[in-house]
Amino acid sequence: MLCDKKSGILTSIGKIEQWRAHGEVYVANKPRILPGTHAPIPAGYIALDLEHEEEKTTAAVWTFCARAVGVANPRQLTIFADETHQADLLAQLADFLAAYPDLPVISWSQSDIRVLRKAVTEISVENQLIGNLTETRHHTDLLEWTKGAMILPTKSLDLKTVAAYFGIANDVPSMNGSVGSARMRAHRSTTNPSVKEEIRAELIRYVRSDVTLLVGVADHLRSIHDGITPPTGRHEPLHADDVIYI
């Protein structure tokens, strides 16, 4: 351990080496794979993104987008539901997962699975497929995977920042998690139908955009880690792309 004389802050040698490595990667503008064994990013998976509200013991999922990747006739499903239709939303997600029982789930946040677990517990959904997602189905938090597998020359590991580094277009640059949460609260508080419709459309665009970014980032991370040809940004066209308001 080293101690800065002015601040009195203790810093480990390992931390200093980590900072140095990040600096070198940032200057070279080239990712660096970290030593060790890392789980591969699968070619086939379900990309999942949620917009939600979470309290200490409860949670509500306002909208989700799920896309099957790397399969024949891939589908994408996006659903928006208010607090009175949570069971319907979760049942629709369960049905989507049932169509791809062997695909792992990839997200950019472990909180998505935690929120689903809370929502299922609160509503007591009698459908084991959601339970399978939260308990037994393989899930990769791609953010945590990235932290453990490589160093990227980015200022942060926010999904939009990483996507921008790889040149992936962001359709809704003005939206982020905080703005999304504020819009969800506005939807709940307003009684104006047109305002509600506008907010629903914004959140739908946001969650769909994040799934597109997630798929693109997963492609690039896999190509870097596996030493394969960088992706072209093209996947098999979606066989179905449903948007449902409940």
pLDDT, one tens digit per residue, over 128-150 is 555 555 555 788 999 999 999 99
Residue 26 sits in the same domain as residue 53: no
Q: Which domain holds residue 16?
A: 2-30
Q: In what order do the strands lie in the sheet with 45-54?
A: 139-141, 105-107, 45-54, 59-69, 75-80, 240-245
Instruction: Report helix, strand or coil for 6.
Output: coil
> Per-residue pLDDT for 6 more than 60?
no
Most confident of 12-26, 170-184, 208-222, 224-238: 208-222
Residue range 56-72: average pLDDT? 87
> What gap in Å lies between CA 31 and CA 54, rounded to an integer?
34
Q: Of 49-53, 72-76, 130-134, 150-154, where does mean pLDDT reach its minimum?
A: 130-134
pLDDT band at 66 (very low <50, low <70, confident <90, very high): very high
Whole-angstrom distance, CA of residue 133 vs CA of residue 15: 35
Q: Which two tokens stand for residue 51?
A: 């917009």
In this prediction, residues 103-132 reach a mean pLDDT of 75
Residues 159 and 83 in one domain: yes
- Between 119 and 69, the more confident residue is 69
Rounded Cα distance between 213 and 44, Å, is 16
Distances from the Cα of 134 to the Cα of 19, 50, 207, angstroms: 35, 14, 20
Residue bearing tokens 């809704």:
172
Tally of helices (H runs) and strands (E runs) in the chain: 8, 10
Cβ-in-10-Å burial (0-12, 13-18, 19+) of 146 comes to buried
Same domain, 8 and 123: no
Which pLDDT value is given to residue 84? 86
Same-domain status, 117 and 158: yes
pLDDT at 57: 65
| Tens-place pLDDT, residues 29-40 | 889 999 889 999
Query: What pLDDT band is residue 107 in, cutting at 50, 70 and 90?
Result: very high
pLDDT category of residue 11 using cuts at 50, 70 and 90:
very low
Contact 113, 133 (CB under 8 A): yes
State how beta strands 75-80 and 59-69 pair: antiparallel
Rounded mean pLDDT of 2-25? 58
Q: How far apart are CA 190 and CA 187, in angstroms?
A: 6
The most confident of 79-93, 150-164, 181-195, by mean pLDDT: 150-164
Residue 172 confidence (pLDDT)? 87
What percent of the chain clears pLDDT 70, i.e. is strictly above it? Answer: 83
Q: How far apart are CA 37 and CA 40, in angstroms?
A: 9
Same domain, 22 and 114: no
Please state the rounded mean pLDDT for residues 45-66: 86
Are 103 and 15 found together in one domain? Answer: no
Q: Which amino acid is at 191?
A: T
Domain count for the chain: 2
* pLDDT tier for residue 2 given thresholds of 50, 70 and 90: very low
CATH of the domain at 196: 3.30.420.10
Lowest mean pLDDT segment, chosen from 93-97, 131-135, 142-146, 238-242:
131-135
Do 180 and 205 contact (CB within 8 A), yes or no? no
Q: Is residue 136 part of a domain?
A: yes
